[in-house]
């Protein structure tokens, strides 16, 4: 029998790409998603259970009727700016409901978890690129939730034998290279899809929040990782756990950074459109530079980013919209 994977939040942007990759490989998949930000049509070939990971009765029924070999957890709210103005939404969903999921896993004796963490756990880094062992000092409730969960998962690992890999994402971008899936958040907050809306004529301009950071052009620098490479990281994390490893925390990024202005230039190169820009004040909770050291994932997960060229990511996302 194929290993059976429960993908929580599997109808969202990254989750749906992950489900497609699992189904194309050697896994059986069930998706649990409340469709608050996900899309039913993003997982047409998977078993979809519409429901919330905070629903203890639903989880008891689900785990009681199926045997899952592992869980991949994508079901988090991810908007840094929103987390600053509405932190309760983030602590209740990202933290509280994950504890409900962990209880159900524990009751069902499911002991393998791949958890979506974030580079936001680091805050303003002391050194660049950022290593997994560097100081953790999140600047916003979103990052604090993720760091608390990493610490909780470490406790569960010690006390209950949970095997868990925490993957600290940098900035996911791009779309399915086959053009089947793409990014479609509403409201959209990610830079590249917003720029593509400007290029498509659906939005008049892009706002740049802060042009006085201590970076070469004054705008924030981020590490962009293709969603396909990101999902391959999860696949290898599953292999890592199934091989008997206890787990660990790993950065997933391209290992290099691009400023906001550099991303805008790359979008103009790919689309042939001029992007109109407006400048706004800095946003609270934004770090100046976030770039990953990815050596740990290379050596321990045998992972590497194959689609790390920024214009390739943009081209895939642009093609999926046309």
Q: What is the pLDDT of residue 231?
A: 97
The pLDDT tens digits for 236-262 are 999 999 999 999 999 999 999 999 999
Give yes or no for residue 285 having a pLDDT over 80. Answer: no
Residues of the chain with CATH 3.90.25.10: 191-222+255-321
**Hey, is 165 helix, strand or coil?**
strand
> For residue 71, which of 103, 123, 110, 129 has the smallest C-alpha distance?
110
Residues of the chain with CATH 3.40.50.720: 4-173+226-252
Give yes or no for residue 266 having a pLDDT over 80. Answer: yes
The token pair at 311 is 């214009």
In whole angstroms, what is the distance from residue 296 CA to residue 317 CA?
A: 28
The pLDDT tens digits for 6-55 are 999 999 999 999 999 999 888 999 999 999 999 999 998 888 999 999 99
Give yes or no for residue 223 having a pLDDT over 80. Answer: yes
- Stated length of the chain: 322
In whole angstroms, what is the distance from residue 294 CA to residue 181 CA?
A: 26
**Hey, is 199 helix, strand or coil?**
helix
Question: CATH second-level architecture of 4-173+226-252?
Answer: 3-Layer(aba) Sandwich (3.40)
Q: What is the pLDDT of residue 36?
A: 92
Please state, as a whole number, how many other Cβ atoms lie within 10 Å of the Cβ of residue 131.
Answer: 14
Q: What do you get for the CA distance between the two ends of the chain, in Å?
A: 39
Cis peptide before 258 (omega within 30 of 0): no
Phi, psi of 317 (to 5 degrees): -65, -40
The reply to whether 240 belongs to the active site is no
Question: CATH second-level architecture of 191-222+255-321?
Answer: Alpha-Beta Complex (3.90)
| Structure confidence at residue 186 as a pLDDT band (50, 70, 90) | confident
In whole angstroms, what is the distance from residue 255 CA to residue 173 CA?
A: 14
User: Which of 13, 27, 122, 142 is flagged as catalytic?
Assistant: 142
């Amino acid at each position: 029998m194929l290993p059976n994977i429960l993908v929580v939040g599997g109808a969202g942007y990254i989750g749906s790409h992950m489900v497609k990759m699992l189904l194309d490989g050697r896994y059986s998949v069930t998706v649990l998603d409340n469709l608050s930000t996900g899309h039913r049509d993003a997982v047409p070939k998977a078993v979809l259970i519409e429901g919330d990971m905070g629903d203890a009765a639903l989880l008891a029924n689900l785990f009681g009727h199926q045997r899952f070999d592992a869980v991949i957890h994508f079901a988090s709210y991810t908007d840094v700016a929103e987390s600053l103005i509405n932190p309760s939404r983030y602590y209740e969903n990202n933290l509280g409901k994950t504890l409900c999921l962990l209880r159900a896993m524990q009751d069902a004796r499911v002991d393998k978890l791949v958890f979506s963490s974030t580079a936001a756990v680091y805050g303003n880094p002391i050194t660049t690129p950022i290593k997994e062992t560097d100081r953790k000092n999140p600047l916003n409730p979103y990052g604090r939730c993720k760091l608390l969960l990493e610490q909780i998962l470490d406790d569960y690992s010690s006390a209950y034998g949970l095997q868990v890999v925490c993957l600290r994402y940098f900035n996911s971008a791009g779309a399915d290279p086959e053009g089947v899936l793409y990014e479609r958040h509403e409201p959209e907050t990610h830079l590249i899809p917003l720029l593509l809306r400007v290029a498509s004529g659906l939005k008049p301009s892009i706002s740049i929040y802060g042009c006085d950071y201590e970076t070469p052009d004054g705008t924030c620098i981020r590490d962009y990782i293709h969603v396909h490479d990101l999902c391959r990281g999860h696949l290898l994390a599953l292999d890592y756990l199934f091989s008997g490893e206890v787990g660990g925390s790993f950065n997933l990024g391209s290992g290099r950074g691009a400023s906001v202005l550099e991303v805008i230039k790359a979008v103009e190169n790919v689309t042939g459109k001029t992007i109109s820009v407006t400048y706004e004040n800095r946003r609270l909770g934004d770090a100046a530079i976030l770039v990953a050291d990815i050596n740990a994932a290379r050596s321990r997960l045998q992972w590497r980013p194959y689609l790390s060229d920024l214009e390739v990511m943009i081209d895939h996302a642009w093609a999926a919209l046309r």
